[in-house]
Amino acid sequence: MSAWQASNPDAFLLLIALAFAVAGIVKGGVGLGLPPIAMAILVLAMPPVEAASLLVVPSLLTNLWQAVSGPALLSLLRRFWPLLVAAAVVTIIGSGWLAHGNGDAAITLLGVILILYAGSALRKMTVKIDKRTERWLGPLIGGLTGAATAATGVSSVPVVPYLQSLNLNQNELIQVMGLSFTVSTIALAINLSVSHHAPAVLSLVSLVAVLCAFGGMWVGAMIRQRINPETFRTVFLWVLLCHGIYLVPR
């Protein structure tokens, strides 16, 4: 715990509540975005490894329902298991990258990932991938996603742009993203435990994070019903892009 956290416990708790509430609103509105938004805010006041530890439980709980609630779970598992296994293995192999690596480098890399993700989504850069290419590209994307997760705690890139390039309907896309995020979050929890930074599960801070994340998701879902989802998504991506640009020089 940093000196600032110790001397300002109320402000620290407020920052966590704000981070997960905002991230929850985004996830409730567009179906993804909790880890990158929460990490982007949390690293302003704590090392990336601590932020990743706080992220595990809220991310796991909010993504698990997304993974199992759809009708295509078994077929998606059969299709994407090489990607999921590669992401999990590389994330676990990368144990210690967040804990013992250069914290400034991790924040810079997070900023770069946010810029790439938001920029590609804003430009709607999608490439259609056929089944033959998917056989070898899927595990490669999984491995790269695992490396990004181990280094930054965020598992959205490059897997989300890749999944968006496949021939999936909206329900399948949402479910497989939830499945991917769930597997990556479990692997990240193992990664942090191996490096002796076990996720904060039974703590007031973790409880606040979970409650604010779910509360934010409820608000986000309400907003989604009242405004154009594409407008909400565009605003979210621009905010993410600007924040990534802010993080890179730090």
Q: pLDDT tens-digit profile of 102-123?
A: 556 777 777 887 788 788 777 7
**pLDDT at residue 70 in the model:** 74
What does the angle CA 74 – CA 220 – CA 189 come to, to the nearest 5 degrees?
Answer: 50
Tell me: pLDDT of 240 over 70: yes
Tell me: pLDDT of 2 over 70: no
Find the mean pLDDT for residues 30-43: 81
Tell me: pLDDT of 36 over 90: no
The single-letter code of the amino acid at 135 is: R
- pLDDT band (50, 70, 90) for residue 183: very high
**Closest CA relative to residue 19, chosen from 226, 204, 210:** 210
The conformation of residue 196, written as its DSSP 8-state character, comes to T
Mean model confidence pLDDT for the chain: 82
**pLDDT at residue 182 in the model:** 93
**pLDDT at residue 19 in the model:** 93
Tokens at 75, concatenated: 């077929």
Q: Name the domain count of the chain.
A: 1
- pLDDT band (50, 70, 90) for residue 160: confident
**pLDDT at residue 91 in the model:** 94
For residue 33, the Cα-to-chain-centroid distance in whole angstroms is: 6
Phi-psi region of 101 (alpha: psi -120 to 50; beta: other; left: phi over 0): beta
- pLDDT band (50, 70, 90) for residue 137: very high
Residue whose pair of structure tokens reads 């909400």 in the numeric block: 232
Find the mean pLDDT for residues 30-51: 82
Find the mean pLDDT for residues 78-85: 96
**Closest CA relative to residue 40, chosen from 112, 126, 135:** 112
What does the angle CA 104 – CA 7 – CA 247 come to, to the nearest 5 degrees?
Answer: 25
Domain region containing 211:
3-247
Percent of the chain with pLDDT over 90: 23
